[in-house]
Amino acid sequence: DTAVSQTPKYLVTQMGNDKSIKCEQNLGHDTMYWYKQDSKKFLKIMFSYNNKELIINETVPNRFSPKSPDKAHLNLHINSLELGDSAVYFCASSQGGRANYGYTFGSGTRLTVV
Amino acid sequence: AQTVTQSQPEMSVQEAETVTLSCTYDTSESDYYLFWYKQPPSRQMILVIRQEAYKQQNATENRFSVNFQKAAKSFSLKISDSQLGDAAMYFCAYTSGGTSYGKLTFGQGTILTVHP
């Protein structure tokens, strides 16, 4: 069983569309994250949820809206996609609102906006 | 704000040799954790090694070891007996043990090439 699974792995879409990326973890962790890896491979946090509560919201456009229906799921919805949104998006999880033992990452979703 | 700097965009090593990847960080905190992650072409992020700031002893995991210099805020990764499968992008990462809410701050990454 995959510990942190993201779907889809690849997503190609046109500018202006709305798309969602889903993430689920079966580790029993209570904290989940979204990171964006840009074309230069730089990883930057976007959001963090702890027990369904938003605790980190970095400077991210309002077009990005995370949703956590329960502590095992954290989805990312993106409205009005732009070319600059093309990147790899990683979901990750950890325990207790901390990263003292690092994260368990999903395999990433490569989003290409054309 | 905490920052993590990897000053080597690319490194290369011959198979079976040893290579060291550098990382420096900036923090005013005393309780924190440092990590090295590996990202092979499959793009999966794999935790290689972890260091607790309050532990003097350098962490080791098989062929991977760190040189943690707390005063100098330096955290380098040594890979011994390099293997072709070690070829990947390596990221250094930092998290505060206190109030970061689990945020991991990553360096820019170092691409490691292993030559047969």
Put simply, the answer to whether B106 touches A43 (Cβ < 8 Å) is yes
**pLDDT tens, residue by residue, B24-50:** 999 999 899 999 999 999 999 999 999
**pLDDT tens, residue by residue, A22-54:** 999 999 999 999 999 999 999 999 999 988 889
User: If you average pLDDT over every residue of chain A, what do you get?
Assistant: 94
B99 φ/ψ angles, rounded to the nearest 5 degrees: -110, 25
Q: Tell how far CA B50 is from the center of its chain.
A: 8
Which domains, and CATH codes, for chain A?
A: 4-113 (2.60.40.10)
Closest CA to B111 of B47, B60, B40, B61: B40
**pLDDT tens, residue by residue, A92-110:** 999 888 888 889 999 999 9
Residue A61 CB partners (closer than 8 Å, separation 6+): none
Residue B57 CB partners (closer than 8 Å, separation 6+): none
Which domains, and CATH codes, for chain B?
A: 3-111 (2.60.40.10)
**Given B44, B45, B103, which is nearest A45 (Cβ)?**
B103
What is the reported pLDDT for A59?
Answer: 80
User: If you average pLDDT over every residue of chain B, what do you get?
Assistant: 95
Looking at the complex, does the CB of residue A109 fall below 8 Å from at least one CB of chain B?
no
The C-alpha of A55 sits at a distance from chain B's nearest C-alpha, in angstroms, of: 7
Contact B27, B70 (CB under 8 A): no
Put simply, the answer to whether A101 touches B50 (Cβ < 8 Å) is yes
Residue B99 has pLDDT above 90, yes or no: no
Place of tokens 């400077």: A59
User: Hey, which residues does B67 pair with through a beta bridge?
Assistant: B76
Place of tokens 């973890």: A25
> Would you tell me how many other CB atoms lie within 10 Å of the CB of residue B7?
11
Put simply, the answer to whether B109 touches A90 (Cβ < 8 Å) is no
Q: HEC string of chain A?
A: CCCEEEECCEEEECCCCCEEEEEEECCCCCEEEEEEECCCCCEEEEEEEECCEEEEECCCCCCEEEEEEECCEEEEEECCCCHHHCEEEEEEEECCCCCCCCCEECCCEEEEEC
**pLDDT tens, residue by residue, A58-90:** 888 999 999 999 999 999 999 999 999 999 999
B86: DSSP letter: G
Put simply, the answer to whether B102 touches A56 (Cβ < 8 Å) is yes
Put simply, the answer to whether A31 touches B102 (Cβ < 8 Å) is yes
**Given A55, A101, A105, which is nearest B45 (Cβ)?**
A105
Residue B77 has pLDDT above 90, yes or no: yes
Q: Which residues of B touch A33 (CB under 8 A)?
A: 102
Q: How far apart are the first and last CA of chain A?
A: 33
Q: Which two tokens stand for residue A37?
A: 């890896």
Residues A2, B72: Cα–Cα separation, whole Å? 39
Q: Tell how far CA A57 is from the center of its chain.
A: 12
Give the A:B interface size as CB pairs under 8 Å: 69
